[in-house]
Structure formats: C-alpha cells, structure tokens
Structure 1
Amino acid sequence: MTRNAKLKRRVRSRCAKTGESYTAALRHFLHTPDTPGFHSFPMAVAQTRFFDDPGDLPALRASGAEMRDLMKKARLEGARLLHFPEGTLCSPNKRIMSSLGRREIGPSDWSRCNWDAFRTEIEAIRALAGQLKLWTVFGAAHRLSEPHRPHNSLYVISDRGDLVTRYDERLLSNTKISFMYSPGKRPVTFEVDGFRFGCSLGMELHYPEVFIDYEQRDVDCVLFSTTGESPQTAFAAEALGHAASNSYWLSFSAHTPQSIVMPSGIADPAGQWAARCPHSEHAVLAMAHITIDPDSPAKPWRRKARSGLYAAFQIDGDPRSDETSLF
C-alpha cells in the first residue's frame, strides 16, 4: 500500500458522491495536514483580447493595461504564476506587416512596429510582476539586430521582476518562416517552487516530438501559447492528448476569439480539463492547483515502455508468429 492510499480512497469516494473529476476532488484535500508526498502549485491561465497592429499605440497601451489588470486579479486569487497567450501585447497581422500591401502577403516591414511602446509596456509588466511576487509568462515579438527578423517569443518574468529566460518558437508556420520571424533553436525549461515548466508556442501543438522531448526533460507542466482570430479546432484535443500521453500538466492560453471552440484552460495528466475559461469577449482567467503525485505509476511506466521494454518479449523463429498467419 502506498503512502497516499488513504488519500486516494478519500478522493475516489468524493468523486463517487459529487461526480467531480479525480483532479477536482483532489484539490479539495490538497491543503489538509494528512497529504504527505503531494505538492501543490496554484497557477492561472489567461484569455485576452486580440490586438494585431504593432503600430497602434492606443491599442498597445490598452493591451498592456489589460494584462496588468489580470495580473492583479490572479495574485488576489492566490496564483504564483500567470500564463498568457502568444503575442499577448500584440500578435502582428501578416497583412498589416506586409511590405507589399494588405492585398498580398510579403516580407514583413518591422519598421511599422512601435518598438518603444513595446518596451514601455513590457517594462511596466516586469515591474508589476516584481511588486506582486507573481511569475508571469507572456508572448511578444523579440527584436533582433538588423537585418534579422524578430523571434516570436515567450518571456518568463520571475516573482522578482527579472527576465529569467525566453523561449523562441522553433516550428514556425509557412507564413511565419517565409515572411515574418526567425526560428528559435532550443527548448526552454525553468523551475518555480520545485515545479519544472516547459514552453511551447504558435502551432507547435501539432508536433508531438516537442512534447515528448519535454517529458524526457522531466517537466511537470508545459505552457503552450497560441494566437489568432480563427480557432484551430484540433488544438483542444491535441492539448489533452499531449497531457495524457506524457503524464504531465499542460496550460493552454489563447485569445478571446478562439474561446468559441477552444477557450484557455489547464489540462491535468489524465487528459481532462482541471480549469477552463468561459467563452467571452472580455479578458478572463482560470485557476488550478497543479500537483505532483510521487506515487503515480503512469510516468515511470511510459518511460519504461518507451525504453525498449518489449524487445525481450518479442518472438522470433516461430512460423505461427508470421504476420500473414491466420491460425
């Protein structure tokens, strides 16, 4: 019997009585004194309005103010970390940026971006993160020296207001790689309160290898941010699938237009939504306590299964094992 067998019986009993998912029922017991071995981390995921013109100063200021308002709300609700979408301040529109005009998509003219306004808003966000003692992860274009295109990035700001790392999207869409951004080179992880996080961005949810790699890096949660006015209907299913197949948490952050079919949320290691934002035209957030269960057999078994476990049990030399044999 494991150390947590008693707790697990209580959680399952509550599931039977209330109809809650296992994760939701577990959160009811997390802060009681008889839960040894479990670690809980309160985090929030944001769903923000969509801004797509990086030269629109009033819009950039409104976006920054919206982000800071959500940061305050998240901290009031007890969050240690707040996760925002791709291009939170602004997700530059490929037609607005096209040097050939809006009718034809061409190389992006990044002189149309108000970089001074970006810097001002990011500095205000960084300062507030330090004041609130809130880890803050948000998407923004990261300017490089000429003639290089920017990176499409996730900034990770610590609870001291420091930029601790930056993730640059690696697997870019055709438009992004052809006309807009420079790709990143490497995965990024960081740790908060004993929890390890990985970062992913854009359309990378379509690539299982990104998420398998993070499992091998022993993350507890992947923060995935995306953007756009048109929902990618497969994304919600893929997010749950990556969480379940890799036995970790996955935070999915997108903009309000996408909430029609795929609102922001936090998926648990069983592939269920532990928290989810509503469909809304306004900026909102959702909260969950992510946990580590040291006695869960799921992750160790998946690693063992992927390590060549089955080779010793496979049969060679028996005609009846031939794939074309019926009996």
Structure 2
Amino acid sequence: MRIAMAQISSGTDPQANLAAVAAATERAAADGARLVVFPEATMCRFGVRLGPIAEPLDGPWATGVSEIAARHDVTVVAGMFTPDADRVRNTLVIAGPDGSRIGYDKIHLYDAFGFAESRTVAPGDEPVTFDVDGVTVGVATCYDIRFPALFTELAARGAQLIVVPTSWGAGPGKLQQWQTLATARALDTACFVAAVGQALPSDPELATSSAPTGIGHSQLTDPFGSVAAAYDDGEHIGVHDIDPDVVDKARAALGVLANRRPIAQSPAPTTN
C-alpha cells in the first residue's frame, strides 16, 4: 500500500487549511497514494479559542474533507475539532473514497509540559481502526503516542499500520522523545507507524509558543524499528510504500504480541 504523509503548517482559517488539504491530496493521489495522512489540528492550529472553530463530523469542514477524498479516490485522515458541551473533542476525521466518514476522539489529553489540553478538550474513550485496500489501519493522536497500551490494543484489533497525526510541542529534548516514541510504538506492536506532525511554524513567536504548534520531523517506522522515512522541520509531502507482509514477518520474529502475559494491576498512584 502506498501512503502519503502531509507535513503541513495549519493556520487559524479552516477554509484556507481545507484548501491546503485539497492541494496536498491531489498531489499525493497523483503519486499513487491510497491513504493521505495530515497532522492533528489540520482544521485550525492550537493557541486560539477552539470552541468557535469546532464543527460536527457532518458539518461543512469534514464534509469538505470527504469530498476531497472521494474526488481523488483515496482515504484521508486529518485533525479537526468537534463540539462537546462546554468543551470540544480533538477529533480525527477519517474520510473514505466511497463517501464514508468516521471519527476518532483523542483519548490521552496533553496535560504536560505546562499545557493543559483538558481545560478545553474532552477525552475520547474508544480506539478506532479502519480498512484501506485490505490493510487494517489504527489511529492515535499526538500525546497518545506516550501510551503503549493503546497501540497494543490497536494491534490486537488487527492494525498493521498505525497513523499518528500530531502537533508536537517544542522544547528541550522533545524532538528526541518524539523520535524515540515513534520507533518504540512500532516495536511494541510490530506495526508500521506513520507519525505525521505539523511543520515548524514560520512565525518565530508560534515556534516557541507554549501551545503545541508543531516541530515537523514526521517519521515512518517499520515493524522492526527501522526508520523508513524522516522529514526535517519544514513543510513536506512524501509518498511511501508499505508492505503488509513485513508485519507478519516481524510478529513471527519478535513475538511481542504473542508472548504478552497478563500483569497484575496495582492501584493508581494518588497525590495529596
């Protein structure tokens, strides 16, 4: 299967960002991509009020993504925000070539490194997989990548490829953590992992913002932990081939899924 990783830099205008999705998808489809993956917050970057931006999955923005996917006969995954009472959901819209549309709501919220995503975003609770040309694809979003149990659950549900749209926060050591985590999750699951980030913003103030506005460095890792593709921090759209047979070979060789054993659960730590 051929996939595209679209490392773009979103602004605050959803329509302009939708136009960027259209242009990148057209380019990727022309290169034979069957799946085009955009970053988290493709609809609108972090650092602004998200409530007025949020739309339901049947709203104009997600409908526009579906129309783009259908027009180019591909599946598109892109980050958006959907309404949820007094907060929003950090949602991935998954738009199929047949007009189908499902969503994944980010489960693990980024309450770390001085940022509190949960103040404005409600968490999801259900892992999601979907099919592209007979390949089962799992999805996770940004901070989810720090939680291996989600990834092993996706693998248990049949995922051979896990895509991770992201808008990574800048800071000391953060790039190294991102690269290590993307590789580790591939090894945890013997899956391909396509971790697709927002490019580093060109505005210097945004590049050093406390909001996670992106650092680039999207990475495709194979099931043996080898980095098949690694981008720099600028905008880039790359197309890459994935061989699902490598997943079977890695799972037979590594045994990490077959050899798992149940671990007794301890009470969650408490703080005073």
Report the CA distance between 1:161 and its aligned residue.
2.7
**SS, match of residue 17 in structure 2:** helix
Paired residues for 1:261-272 under 5 Å: 262-272=216-226
Paired residues for 1:247-266 under 5 Å: 247-257=190-200, 262-266=216-220
Report the CA distance between 1:70 and its aligned residue.
0.2
- Residue 168 of structure 1: aligned partner: 105
Residue 2 (structure 2) pairs with residue 48 (structure 1): no
Which amino acid in the other structure matches residue 181 of structure 1?
A: V
Q: Relative to structure 1, is the Cα distance of residues 43 and 294 closer, same or farther in structure 2, using a 3 angstrom cutoff?
A: closer
* Distance in 2 between residues matched to 1:198 and 1:213, nearest whole Å: 9
Of residues 229, 244, 251 in structure 2, which corresponds to 1:292?
A: 244
Superposed CA deviations along residues 130-171 of structure 1, whole A, max 9, x for unmatched, are 111010000000123xx34221011100012321x2100111
Residue 235 (structure 2) pairs with residue 235 (structure 1): no
Q: Relative to structure 1, is the Cα distance of residues 297 and 291 closer, same or farther in structure 2, using a 3 angstrom cutoff?
A: closer
Tell me, yes or no, if the aligned pair for 2:198 and 2:215 is still in contact at 8 Å. Answer: no
Tell me, yes or no, if the aligned pair for 1:45 and 1:84 is still in contact at 8 Å. Answer: yes
Q: Relative to structure 1, is the Cα distance of residues 143 and 302 closer, same or farther in structure 2, using a 3 angstrom cutoff?
A: same
Aligned residues: 241
Tell me, yes or no, if the aligned pair for 2:105 and 2:124 is still in contact at 8 Å. Answer: yes
Report the CA distance between 1:296 and its aligned residue.
4.5
User: Which of the two has greater helix per residue?
Assistant: 1
Residue 135 (structure 2) pairs with residue 195 (structure 1): yes
Report the TM-score when normalising by structure 1: 0.67
User: Which of the two has greater strand per residue?
Assistant: 2
The RMSD of aligned alpha carbons is 2.5
Superposed CA deviations along residues 215-273 of structure 1, whole A, max 9, x for unmatched, are 22221011111114626321111101111232110011111118996511321111122
Percent identity between matched residues is 21
Superposed CA deviations along residues 102-152 of structure 1, whole A, max 9, x for unmatched, are xxxxxx7x2x43759x943432221121111010000000123xx342210
Tell me, yes or no, if the aligned pair for 2:35 and 2:75 is still in contact at 8 Å. Answer: yes
Residue 32 (structure 2) pairs with residue 82 (structure 1): no
* Distance in 1 between residues matched to 2:250 and 2:2, nearest whole Å: 23
Which amino acid in the other structure matches residue 81 of structure 2?
A: A
Residue 63 (structure 2) pairs with residue 123 (structure 1): yes
Tell me, yes or no, if the aligned pair for 1:71 and 1:82 is still in contact at 8 Å. Answer: yes
- Residue 16 of structure 1: aligned partner: none
